[in-house]
Amino acid sequence: MKGISFLSGDNIESPFDSDDVSNHLRIVISEPDPENNVLVVGVSSQKEGIFHDPACELNKGDHPFIKKPSYISYRHAQVLNYKKIIQAGLDKVIIRKENVSESVLNSIQDGARETSFLKRDFKKYFEYF
């Protein structure tokens, strides 16, 4: 399950709209917990002159969807039920993308451990990395 990436708007239960500017690449970075929940982070583009969390920066080539300098927005991490993610993919509510590589996944997980922006409650998912 971990390493799966997908495009969605702000809510994976809303119909996918390819023109929605809130669509972001999201990445599952944990295995499911006993309640089938996983930790999901989003990728955001770096913008000149605007602060971003430096815990995990990504560049073109780190994933086919990433075309410019980007970062993991741990501040916007979510806990989602992985069965709902799978169903949302089947229902075309989200658009599955290529899985991230093991090395990129490891960098994202390391960043999750380092950042001060990840919610404290989400740190329990470290045991599922």
> Into how many domains does the chain fold?
1
Here the CATH number for the domain that contains residue 55 is: 2.30.30
Residue range 87-123, pLDDT digits in tens? 888 888 888 899 999 999 999 999 999 999 999 999 9
Supply the pLDDT for residue 21: 45
Using DSSP bridges, classify how beta strands 37-45 and 24-28 pair: parallel, antiparallel or unpaired.
Answer: antiparallel
Structural domain including 114 reads 5-128
Q: Residue 43: phi, psi to the nearest 5?
A: -105, 130
38-57 confidence digits (pLDDT tens):
999 999 999 999 999 999 99
Q: What is the pLDDT of residues 62-90, one digit of tens each?
A: 999 999 999 999 999 999 999 989 988 88
